[in-house]
Amino acid sequence: MQRTENYMVMEFLSRSSNESFARTAVATFAAQLDPTLDEIGDIKTAVSEAVTNSIVHGYPNTLGKIVVKVRILEKNTLEISVRDWGCGIENIDKAREPMFTTGGEERSGMGFTIMESFTDRMRVKSSVGRGTTVVMQKRIAPRMR
Ligand X SMILES: Nc1ncnc2c1ncn2[C@@H]1O[C@H](COP(=O)(O)OP(=O)(O)O)[C@@H](O)[C@H]1O
DSSP secondary structure, 69-136, as one string: EEEEETTTEEEEEEEE-SS--S-HHHHHSTT--SS-TT--S-HHHHHHHHSSEEEEEEETTTEEEEEE
> Number of helices (H) and strands (E), helices first, in the chain?
4, 5
Contacted by 132, from Mg ion, ligand X, none: CB < 5 to 8 Å by type: ligand X
Contact 89, 136 (CB under 8 A): no
Among 44, 57, 71, 138, binds ligand X (CB under 6 A): 57
Q: Which of 18, 23, 39, 53 is catalytic?
A: 53
Nearer CB in complex with Mg ion: 14/53 = 53
Identify the CA nearest to 129 among candidates 79, 71, 90, 74: 90
Is 139 considered catalytic here? Answer: no
CB of 131 to ligand X, least distance (A): 7
**Interaction pattern, residues 74-103, with ligand X; x per rule: CB under 6 A:** ----------x-xxxx-----x----xxxx
C-alpha–C-alpha distance, residues 68 and 56, integer Å = 16
**Of residues 97-126, which lie at the interface with Mg ion (CB under 5 A)?**
111
Query: Interface with Mg ion by CB under 5 A: which residues?
Result: 53, 111
Query: Interface with ligand X by CB under 6 A: which residues?
Result: 49, 53-54, 57-58, 84, 86-89, 95, 100-103, 107-112, 132
